[in-house]
Every structure is written in structure tokens, then in C-alpha cells.
Chain A
Amino acid sequence: MHTVFPVEAGNFTKAGNVSSDVKRMLKQLGVPHKTVKRIVVALFEAEVNVIAHSWGGQVEITVDPKQVLVRVVDTGPGIPDLDLAMTEGFSTASEEVREMGYGAGMGLPNIRNNADELKIETGANSHTDIHMTFYIDEE
């Protein structure tokens, strides 16, 4: 099963809408609770990043019996120094993002902690393409 959800840049009032829809979809498909939580938290972090930093993007979810693939791809400035961005506490978030309770520089590290596999591809003033794989845990 493959589903695509668009994510609008800059629209913080909608932050989490896609993650919430995906959560509902995964629960309906019978994906176990603990796996759903890992997916949804990682996806939400990535969704907020797209809204906060990019020029717009989309989320693609592919569900099969053994794993869930989450791809979050945007056009935008890209991540200039990926190693630095993966460091807890490093943030380039705006004041607006911080006032909402985010932007503490924990997003990408938290994605890494929740995903079973993570691949990030990014180009300056071009795009960021995040591939996450989640194995479906037996509960």
C-alpha cells in the first residue's frame, strides 16, 4: 500500500496534520501500537522540519506486512552540514518555531533513534530526501 500526503511550507497551524492522518491509517491497518508510535514520532519531527525549513514537500508511506517505509522529501535549502544537524542540540530553527515548543535541535537525532534504518540525501538549495524504514515489531 502506497499513500502520498502533501506538506505545505510555513503553515504551522497544520503542523502534525499529516502525522495524525498517518497514525489513523496505520492503526486501521493493524500495525502494532509500539511500531505506530515510533513511526508517528519520527514522521512528526520530519513534518515539522519540512514546514519550518523547506519550500514545500510531501510524505510517502508504503506499508507491507513486514515493514513500513516513510519517505519525506522536500524542495528547499537542504541541510548544509548533515553531521552537525544530527548532533543533539544543534538547531537553526526560528523564534516562531521555538515559541511553539519545537526547534531544540533534537528532531533528526530523534528520527534516528526511532527508525530502524535511516538514509538522508540532501543538496544545497535543492532538496532533502529522508528515507526511514520501520520493522513491524511483534507484540
Chain B
Amino acid sequence: MMKLSDIVKAIDGEVLCCEDQLDMEVRFGFSSDLMSDVLTLRDDDILLITGLANIQSIRTAELSDINAIVLVRNKVATDQMIDMAADAGIVLITTKYSMFKTSGLLYAAGLSPIY
């Protein structure tokens, strides 16, 4: 398990929403821009790493019980995304790193893959 605050440090991230929940822990990382893939996951305690910066990534996370999202490559989160994340209690983090580098750093730091 890895604390979200440690994840933010590892990827030089910026927290856009729900900073009060950075003590929360996640076990798995899943990197995808394909929300269809995210919806097939059965596990809990997942961090979603994605380049898909639209409300659908937030909606998909909410409906899949995913409580934390990292937006890679400096993708800009709209106000609507941040509001929706706040309503759903989803921690939203951005990083300037690519999906590959973000995933690599977090894998090395101990986040587990699902498959």
C-alpha cells in the first residue's frame, strides 16, 4: 500500500482536489486512456494514471470506486472536472511526467500492477 502523499512526492505532482485525503492509501496502479478497460477492473484501492483529461475519466473513476487519479503530461483539468472530483471525493493529481515515466516511478516505489 502506498500513501497518496508519497505518490505526489514521487511524481513531483500537484494536487488539484481533495488535499485533505492525501493520507489515503492505494495498492494498485492502472495506466490507461481507455475507460472501457478501466471499467473491467474488479479490484479496490486502485490509482488511475491517465492522459484522458475530460469528465469521463472522473465519472469512470467514481463509478468504479477509484478514489485517486493522476493526470499525466501536464493535462489541464477543467473546473467541471475538479468540481465533479470534489463531489465524488476523488483526489485529483497532475504531473508533468509522461504516463510511462509516472508508471515507472510508481512501480519502482512499490505500487503493484493489476495484471
Residues of A in contact with B (beta carbons under 8 Å apart): 12-13, 15-16, 19-20, 23, 33, 37, 40-41, 44-45, 100-107, 110, 113
Contact = CB atoms under 8 A, between A and B. Distances in A.
Interface residues of B, number: 20
B40 A101 contact: no
Contacts, number: 57
B59 A20 contact: yes
A23 B39 CA distance: 15
B63 A106 contact: no
Interface of A is mostly: helix
Contacts of B74: none
11 contacts: A16-B62, A23-B63, A37-B65, A45-B39, A101-B38, A101-B56, A102-B35, A103-B36, A106-B36, A110-B36, A110-B40
A30 to B, nearest CB: 17
A19 B60 CA distance: 10
A41 B59 contact: no
A16 B63 contact: yes
B102 interface: no
A110 B60 CA distance: 14
